[in-house]
Structure 1
Amino acid sequence: MGMIVSLLVLSFLIFFHELGHFLFARLFGVHVERFSIGFGKVIASKTVDGTEYALSAVPLGGYVKMKGQDDTDPTKVSHDPDSYNVKPPWQRILILLGGPLFNFLLAFFLYYAIALMGANAYKPVIGMVQENSPADLAGLQKGDRIIAINDEKIRIWDQLSDIISHSSGSLQMLVEHNGTLRSVVVSPRILEAKNIFGETVKRRMVGIGPSGDIVKVKYDPVHAFAYAWKKTVEASMMIVISVEKLIEGVVPAKEMGGVIAIVQVTADAAQHGVVALFALTALISVNLGVLNLLPIPALDGGHIIFTLYEMIFRRPPNEEIVYRLTLVGWGLLLSLMVFTIYNDIARITHG
C-alpha cells in the first residue's frame, strides 16, 4: 500500500509541475502537442482539442511538449503564431517559471491544509538541561513546561527557541512542574551547537532541549495563511542552503538520495497519517521547484538563462551551443540519477 501511495504522490507532483507549464503556455496562445506523465513509450493517451494527454512507461518524470520547443533537438523550431519560440522572451520565461511556481503553490496549499487539520510540533517541555548552562544555573529541570516568556504565551518549542535566539538581555519564564507554577529569570549566553548540516554554529541559547512530546496545533483559516507562507519559505530556504552546502562539500555526496529514497520515505510518511504525508509531499514539491530553477541546461532554469541571454543581447544564443549544452545537461542529470540510485541501494544493503 505504501508503494502505491508513493507512486501516486510522485505522479501527482509531476502532474502539478507540468500543469503549471501547460496553463501558462495556453495563456499565451502556445499550442501544447503533448502533456505526458512519465517518460519513454506512451502506454495510454487521449487527444483533446489537439493536445495528446499521455501516460508513459517510465513514471519518473513528465513533460509538456510545446509547438516549436523540443529538448531532444533544440534546433527544431516553428515560426507559426502558436509556436513557443516566436513568443516574446518574457512570455517564454513565465511559461518556464510556471512549473516551479505551481510546485511552490502546491506546497503552500498542503501546509495550509496541515494548519487547518492540526500541525505536529514539539511541546514546550524540557527533556534535557545542559550542565552549568544558564538554564541549569536558573534551576530549570527536566520535565519543566515553559508556559510563557516575558508574558508571551508559549504553545510550541519552536516559538520558545525563536524568542531565545532573538532575545537581548534576561528572560522572565513562567514554568510549570508537577502542577506548580514558578517564575524564573534566565540569562541566555552565546553557546556552540551543531546545525542540521553538522556545522558548529554560535547563537543565543539557555542550554535546554525538547522532551520530544508532540502536540497538535490547529490554526483558524486566517492564521493558517501565515503558517503556510512561513513553512513554504522555510522549506525553500532549507533546500537552497542544502544545495549550497552540497556544492561546498559540507554535506557529503553519499547523503544524496534518489527516487528509491523518495519512495521509501513517502511510504513511511503514509503510515503515520495524512498530516505527515502532506508535510513530506510539500517538502518534495518545494524541492522540485527549487531544483528545476537551477541553471542547468535541460532544466527550466537552464532554459531561462538562454532566454535571458536573448533578452539582453537582442538575439537568440547559437543553436549549436544550445544543443551541445543541452546534451551536457542531460548527461549531468542522468549521471546524477544513476549516482543517487546507487546511494539508495548502498544505503539499503548496508541497513
Structure 2
Amino acid sequence: MSFLVSLAVLSALIFFHELGHYLAARKMGVKVEIFSIGFGRKIASFYRWGNEWRLALIPLGGYVKMKGQDDSDPTKKSYDEDSYNVKSPAQKIFILFAGPLANFVLAFFLYFAIALGGPSVLSPVIGKIVKDSPAFVAGLETNDTIRSINAIEIKTWEEMAKLIEASDGSLSFEVERAGFIQHIVLTPKITQTTNMFNEVIEKKMIGIASAGVTHKLELGVSETLSYATNQTIFASTMIFTGLKKLIVGEVPANELGGVISIVKLTSDASEAGWMSVFFFAALISVNLGVLNLLPIPALDGGHIMFNLYELIFKKEVNEEIMVKLTIAGWVILFSLMGLGLYNDINRLIG
C-alpha cells in the first residue's frame, strides 16, 4: 500500500509539472500532440481536447509533446501556425518555465494545507545538556521549558535556536521548571556542529538538545499564508544550495539519491500520516521545479537557455551545436540518474 501511495504522489507531481507546460502551450496557440505520464511503451491512452493523453510503462517522468518539438531529434521542426517553432523566444520561455512554476505553486498549496491542519513543531523543551556547556554551567536542567529570551516570547525550538545563533553577548532566559518560573543568564559559545548537508560549521550554541516534545501550531489566515510562502522559499533555497554544493564538491556525490530513495521516503511518510505525505510531496515538488531549471539541454532550463540566446542575439543557436549539446545533456541526465540509483542500491545493501 505504501508503494502505491509513493507511486501516486510521484505521478501527481509529474502531472502538475506537465500540466503547467500544457496549459501554457495551449494559451500560446501551440498544438499539443501527446500528454504522457511516464516513458516507454504506452499502456493506456485516450483522445480529448485535440490531443492524446497517455500513461506509459516507466513512471519516472513525463512529457508534453508539442507540434514541432522533438528532443530526440532537434532538427525535426514544423513551421505551421500552431507549431512551437514559430513562436517567439519569449513565448517559448513562458511555455518552458510554466512547468517548474506549476511545481512551486503546487508546493505552496501543499504547505498551505499543512498550515491549515496545524503543523507539528518542536517545543522549546530541553532534553540532553552537554557537560561544561554554557547551559550546564548556568544551571539549566532537562525538561526545562524556555518561555522567553531577552523578553522575546519563545514558542518553538527553531525560534529559540535562531535567537541564540544571532545573539551578541549574554542572554536572559525565562524558564519554566516544575510549574515555577526561573530567570537564568548565560552567554552562548561558538561551537562546532554539522548542518543539514553534513558539513562541519561553527555557530553560537549553549549546549542543549531537544527533548523531542512537539505541539501543533495554531495559525491565523495571514500566518497560514506566511507559513506556506516561507516554507516554499526555504525548500527552494535549500535545494539550490544543495545542488551548488554537490557541483563544487562540498557535498560528496554519494549523498545524491535516486528514485528508490524518493519512493522509500514517501512510503515512510505515508505511514506517519497525511500531513507527512503532504510535507514530503511539497519538498519533492520544489525539487522537480529546481532540477528542471538547471541549464541542461535535456531539461526545461536548457531550452530556456537556448531561447535566451536567441532573445539576446536575435538568432537561433547553431543547429549542429544544439544537437551536440542536447546529446550531452541527455548523457549528463542519465549519468545523474544512474549515480542516484547506484547510491540507492548501496544504501539498501549497506
- TM-score (norm: length of structure 2): 0.96
**Post-superposition shift, 1:188?**
2.2
Letter matched to residue 54 of structure 1: R
Q: CA deviation at 1:200?
A: 2.2
- Give the aligned CA root-mean-square deviation in angstroms: 1.3
Equivalent-residue separation in structure 1 for 2:343 and 2:187 (angstroms): 45
CA distance in structure 1 between the aligned counterparts of 2:290 and 2:215, rounded to whole angstroms: 30
Which residue number in structure 2 is paired with residue 55 of structure 1? 55
Superposed displacement of residue 185, structure 1: 1.7
Residue of structure 2 in register with 1:304 after alignment: 304
Once residues 275 and 123 of structure 1 are traced to their aligned partners in structure 2, the CA distance between those partners, rounded to angstroms, is 18
> Cα distance, 1:128 vs. partner?
2.2
- Once the two structures are TM-superposed, the CA of residue 151 in structure 1 deviates from its matched residue by 2.3
Q: In structure 1, what is the equivalent of residue 243 of structure 2?
A: 243
Task: Kindly state the Cα deviation for residue 255 of structure 1 after the two structures are TM-superposed.
Answer: 2.0
Q: Determine the structure 1 residue equivalent to 2:119.
A: 119
Name the counterpart of 2:348. Answer: 348
1:91 to 2:91 alignment: yes
Deviates further, 93-102 or 329-338: 329-338
Residue 336 of structure 2 is matched in structure 1 by: 336
Once the two structures are superposed, the pairs formed by residues 72-111 of structure 1 within 5 Å of their partners are 72-111=72-111
Q: What residue identity is the alignment partner of 1:42?
A: K
Which region of structure 1 is more displaced relative to structure 2, 267-276 or 336-345?
336-345
Deviation string, structure 1 residues 167-187 (Cα, Å, up to 9, x no partner) = 333322110111111111222
Partners in 2 of 1:197 and 1:262 — Cα distance? 18
Query: What secondary structure does 1:328 align onto?
Result: helix
Matched, 1:178 2:178: yes
Tell me which residue corresponds to 1:284.
Answer: 284
**Aligned ranges 1:1-351 → 2 under 5 Å:** 1-350=1-350
Per-residue CA deviations over 1:225-258 (Å, capped at 9, x if unaligned) read: 1011111111111111111221222322222211
Give me the whole-angstrom Cα distance separating, in 1, the residues matched to 2:122 and 2:312. Answer: 50
Deviates more, 1:247-256 or 1:37-46: 247-256
Instruction: Give % identity.
Output: 54
Larger mean Cα displacement after TM superposition, 271-280 or 196-205: 196-205
Cα distance, 1:84 vs. partner?
1.1
Superimposed CA distance per residue, residues 115-170 of structure 1 (whole angstroms, 9 cap, x where no aligned partner): 11011211101112223322223211221110112222211101111122223333
Distance 1:188 1:285 in 2: 38
* 1:309 match: secondary structure: helix
Structure 1: distance between partners of 2:220 and 2:60: 37
Q: Distance in 2 between matches of 1:168 and 1:205?
A: 12
Residue 211 of structure 1 and its aligned partner are, at CA, apart by 1.3
Once the two structures are TM-superposed, the CA of residue 202 in structure 1 deviates from its matched residue by: 2.0
Structure 2: distance between partners of 1:224 and 1:129: 34
Structure 2, unaligned runs of 5 or more: none
- Structure 1 residue 79: deviation in Å? 1.2
Whole-angstrom CA distance in 2 between matches of 1:191 and 1:346: 33
How far the C-alpha of 1:98 sits from its partner, in A, is: 0.6
